[in-house]
Amino acid sequence: MIAVGLSLLDQESTAPCDMFRRVHNEEYILFARKGLPLSQGLAENLRENAVSALYIEPAEGDAYFQCLKNLTEQAVADSKEKPERKAQIVYSSCKEILRQVFDDPRASFIHLAMDIIAPTMDLIVTDDVATRCLIKLTDYDQQTYTHSTNVGIFGIALARNYYGQKAEKELKAFGAGFFLHDLGKCRIPLSIINKPGPLTPQERLIVNRHPEDGYKILQENGVMTEELKCLTLQHHERDDGGGYPYGLTRQDIHPYARICRLVDIYEALTSERPYHRRSSTFDTLKLMKEKLVVDMEPSLFEHFVRLFLT
């Protein structure tokens, strides 16, 4: 079974396929038959009972996420929809499709992710109020798909803020790269991702393979673009040559890969991880300025700080 979030309930959609609740480890009961109206009330009821996911048959995955995509596009295009609600819809839709992509990175899901990211990006570059709502919505847990959603939002917002309107055209090609930069992490064993203590040198080597693994996954699925290649491969490179996997230096690192690294560091430090407690926005920005992004041009970091001031 495929685990899905409660986005369609929050969006008051109708069930695009039969949806199930898990009652025991591998036992499921029908929650909503295909065509049944879904409601926020149902979602609230589930959350009150600590249920955050429903389940669908694997064969229904494409239909389900296609429905999520259509609703996301409609919400962003609807001039009467409030920015707060648009932000909620795109945030939960991005998280849901990225959860699926990290679980099963096949071409059809990666394409659907790109289709859901496209209106999200349009919203960020055109609607400052909705972007502020999105930044406030970013929540922090240990899941790679949550991290990727947050990096996507911060990355696009920073590129838009730093380069202004001229970035809008480029972002159409680069936007998905911010969300998919860590795709290779789906090949890292969970025992390493969730390890509470320091990694062994061997484990560190496995983790450091994820930029190249992400590149390979996109290549194998026939969805590679120059922009995706650039962000997956270069988001851990440092201007001073101390990064990985290739130890590139400033002139060889794409400016958007630098942006991706900056927001990636912020997101990692402000998230709860097995090996550290999350730190506050203020403490994280202070640490980044003093120690972690000293190889970057200061003006880029200053623009990043401004995202939290508006």
Given the complex with Fe ion, which of 10 and 182 has the nearer CB atom? 182
Phi, psi of 96 (to 5 degrees): -65, -45
Q: How far is the CB of 235 from Fe ion (least distance, A)?
A: 6
- The residue at minimum Cβ distance from Fe ion is 182
Strand partners, 4: 54
Residues 6 or more apart whose Cβ sits within 8 Å of residue 37? 12, 14
Interacting residue ranges for Fe ion, rule: CB under 5 A: 182
Q: Which two tokens stand for residue 304?
A: 């990043």
Work out how close the CB of 139 gets to Fe ion at its nearest, in angstroms, rounded to a whole number: 19
What are the phi and psi torsion angles at 13 (to 5°)? -85, -175
| Shorter beta-carbon distance to Fe ion: residue 182 or 213 | 182
The nearest distance, CB 214 to Fe ion, in angstroms, is 8
Q: Which is nearer to Fe ion, 53 or 268 (CB)?
A: 268
Measured from the CB atom, is 182 or 267 closer to Fe ion?
Answer: 182
Helices marked H in the chain = 7-10, 40-48, 61-77, 83-103, 107-126, 128-137, 144-163, 167-180, 190-193, 201-207, 210-220, 226-234, 255-269, 281-287, 298-306
What's the chain's length in residues?
A: 310
Smallest gap from Cβ 262 to Fe ion, in A, equals 12
With respect to Fe ion, which residue has the nearer C-beta, 69 or 181? Answer: 181
Please say which residue, 88 or 232, places its beta carbon nearer to Fe ion: 232
**Residues in contact with 144: Cβ distance below 8 Å, sequence separation at least 6, in sequence order:** 102, 182, 185, 186, 193
In the complex, the smallest distance separating the C-beta of residue 232 from Fe ion, rounded to whole angstroms, is: 9
- Provide, rounded to whole angstroms, the least separation between the CB of residue 119 and Fe ion: 25
